Amino acid sequence: MLFHVRMDVHLPADMPAAIGDEIKAREKAYSQELQRSGKWRHIWRIVGEYANYSIFDVASNAELHDILTALPLFPYMKIEVTPLCRHPSSIRESDE
């Protein structure tokens, strides 16, 4: 199942830089592990915002929920999820 996910990050202004850096390092490692596994297919930065658009390819809603809630930055995120399906005009059969 494919999902389009927008993630907006809102770290507290008073968070010590060392704590923020440590959380971001764990986030990067976890996200790259998911990208290598194929579950996190794409990630794009949104220009001028601390936010991204991502495409996930997972087996179920529950799997996506588990992945998102395990993100180290999850407590500081607003997340919007949109389920996707292949468009009938698409020439890419693999995008299911």
pLDDT for residue 95? 65
Q: What is the pTM of this model?
A: 0.90
pLDDT over 90 (residue 42): yes
Which runs of E-coded beta strand occur in 46-93?
51-57, 77-84
Residue 5's SS3 state is: strand
**Average pLDDT of the chain?**
95
**Residue whose entry in the numeric block shows the structure tokens 């060392």:** 18
Residue ranges covered by each domain of the chain: 2-84
Residue 34's SS3 state is: helix
pLDDT in tens, 15-31: 999 999 999 999 999 99
| Res. 81 pLDDT band, cuts 50 70 90 | very high
pLDDT over 80 (residue 94): no
Contact assessment for residue 85 and residue 2, using Cβ atoms and an 8 Å cutoff: yes
Superfamily of domain 2-84: Dimeric alpha+beta barrel (3.30.70.1060)
pLDDT in tens, 53-71: 999 999 999 999 999 999 9
Please give the angle made by the CA atoms of 95, 47 and 40, to the nearest 5 degrees.
30
